[in-house]
Amino acid sequence: MDRKKILIIDDESAFAEMVKLNLEESGRFLVQCESNPHDAVQSALSFFPDLILLDVIMPDIEGPDVVAKFRDEPLLRNIPIIFLTATIRKDEILDGGGLIGGHVFIAKPCSVNELISAINSQL
């Protein structure tokens, strides 16, 4: 089975590493983490992921601004993005239709099953 490549962009490196371990443990994903959102485009260009998990709130630059940089890069503009956020509760996700700027988002903390389900829906 061909493992899908996932890039996690989150300034909380401990959280990103935990997600990486859980996703890789499933045997279905190859995961790379990037803790500096300013390096996100370069990381994506070198790793070329099938999907990006992107934190919404980070220092100096927020997730939607990182998305704009991806959309400016022809090789990255069509990669699906799932936002991760600790600023919205799970019940607010349902109220908001589960989207931020047209992208699926998941409230932190989330279960591995929730995350894999969202990833599968976007792949």
Residue 101: per-residue pLDDT: 54
pTM: 0.85
pLDDT digits (tens, 9 = 90+) for 38-65: 999 999 999 999 999 999 888 888 888 9
Local confidence band at 33 (pLDDT 50, 70, 90 cut-offs): very high
Q: Per-residue confidence at 70, pLDDT binned at 50, 70, 90?
A: very high
Q: What does the DSSP 8-state code read for residue 123?
A: -
DSSP class of residue 98 equals T
Q: Which CATH architecture has domain 4-122?
A: 3-Layer(aba) Sandwich (3.40)
Find the angle CA(34)-CA(71)-CA(26) to the nearest 5 degrees.
45
Reported as a pLDDT band with limits 50, 70 and 90, residue 93 is: very low
pLDDT of residue 103: 59
| Residue bearing tokens 């220092």 | 59
pLDDT of residue 109: 76
Instruction: Spell 49-65 as b/e; 16+ CB within 10 A means b.
Output: bbbbbbbbebeeeebee
Higher pLDDT, 83 or 99: 83
Confidence at residue 90, expressed as pLDDT on a 0 to 100 scale: 46
